[in-house]
Amino acid sequence: MSEPRILPQAEGGDSWSPAPDPPPSGRRPTPAQAADDTRLAIEIRELVGRGAMDQARERFSALVALHQRRASRIAFQYLRDGSEADEAVQDAFVKVFSHITSYREAWPFEVWFTRILINGCLDRRKARARRERWFVPADEGGLGESQRSLGGSSPPDPEQRLLARERRARLASAVDQLDGRQRTVFMLCHYADCTAREVSAMTGLNESTIRVHLFRAARKLRAILEGKA
Amino acid sequence: MRTRHLHDDRLLECYAAERTGEPFDPPTAEHLAACDECGGRYTTLTQLLDTIRTDAEAEADELFTIDRLRQQQHQILRRIEHMGRQARVISFPGRIGRTIGGGSLRVAPRWLAAAAAVGLFVGVAVGGMFSDGSGRRRLSLTSANPQLGSPHPSLAAAGRAGVPAAIRELPDDDAFLSDLELALERPSTGELVPFDALTPHTRGISNQLR
């Protein structure tokens, strides 16, 4: 089944600077932070409108720092490939900056940004499916970036690490078995912490439909993971 | 208090409400607090969903380390660096004339300019001849079989934008594959699908060879 493209698209320094008040462990910003990032986006929009590009870029750097971890997690869940997720996140931010003048504060910045990000991910998935259909993958059988252990927070014990990797692979494959809409709704609600109302704004589906998709997704996941499907 | 047990959908709704900080439906909350069976089911469900979530986050965080996020931010800032800046105009051929310099080579810029103009003229003329030929060929093909229509809608659009013919012939992979899939889905080519199924694909062959 082809994946639904989320939209209609919204109307439209080189130094690393940490987020002014970063969300804990990359989770969704608190309401106060969300209001801050919306204010920041409005400020950038005005700076771009006035032609003060250097200042706009400086402010944009803070906005990137605030959202990039969450964005990377979402993109990775969609694409299951670190490099591609990285590119998708970069593209989304560049698109946001180039279209910032069309941002309207009717919705929080986060909703607008997530919509752009997820559309980019869906386009990439579609393009990948096409490539896989017509071309032989170059490194079939090789370990993908997502499967390689990069240290970090993985358990030190090799056995535990192996078990964790297997469990993650099983979960990823279960999520991948959901149909397009179910997967999108599940990811937005579960990984991106969006409410049904926000997902409704992003997808154009009504809230009750979103709830139904979410229930079905959870039921199906449970069945797959418990070996009933 | 409710007498019947809570449905799974209701439990999931509670989980979503708990996550987003929305209040529970009071009768549901009461039932959950009083009924051991529903409480147990709710715990199992939240454990499963929390595991899915924490595993997914841990997996992504292993890949996206602080260093990688820093690089990502640098990359983004580099990409937006030139946005909104005016394009620079590079003077030609005056600069080359100056670098070749020398009193005896004073005429060189004029010769260069003349050669460039002649080259441009010849290129445009030859290009025009070729594009006319291929255009006529394409026109006769589509008029002979009107059902085919434009084989590449995206290319047709590119043509309208006045892109030279040579570039028009080089669509990117995605556009090409998308056109191919569209063509396969058309009813007029439905009879070709069995042939497509009979035709060995590169993927199949390479799998057999392994």
- Prediction ipTM score: 0.72
Look at residues A116, A85, A76 and name the one whose alpha carbon lies nearest to residue A98.
A116
Tell me how far apart the alpha carbons of residues A148 and A140 are, in angstroms, rounded to a whole number: 15
Report which residue type is found at A195: T
Note whether A209 contacts B: Cβ–Cβ < 8 A.
no
Note whether A16 contacts B: Cβ–Cβ < 8 A.
yes
Q: Which pLDDT tens digit goes with each residue over A93-130?
A: 999 999 999 998 888 898 899 999 999 999 998 888 88
For position A7, what pLDDT does the model report? 46
φ, ψ at B5 (rounded to 5°)? -70, 160
Tell me how far apart the alpha carbons of residues A120 and A84 are, in angstroms, rounded to a whole number: 11
Look at residues A61, A60, A86, A91 and name the one whose alpha carbon lies nearest to residue A74.
A86
* Average pLDDT of span A10-38: 52
Q: Which residue does chain A place closest to B84, by CA atoms? A: A53
Asked if the model's pLDDT at residue A69 lies above 90, the reply is: yes
Note whether A195 contacts B: Cβ–Cβ < 8 A.
yes
| Structure tokens belonging to residue A38 | 């919306």
Selected residue of A84, A122, A168 to mutate for chain B interface (largest B Cβ count, 10 A): A168
Quick one: DSSP state of residue A152? T
pLDDT top residue among A32 and A87: A87
Give A134-138's long-range contacts (Cβ < 8 A, gap of 24+).
A134/B177, A134/B180, A135/B202, A135/B203, A136/B202, A136/B203, A136/B206
Mean pLDDT by groups of 10 residues along chain B of 210 residues: 75 82 80 88 88 87 93 93 74 58 58 88 84 53 43 44 51 74 68 74 71
Report which residue type is found at A49: G
pLDDT cut 90: percent of chain B above it = 10
The radius of gyration computed from the CA coordinates of chain B, to the nearest angstrom, equals 33
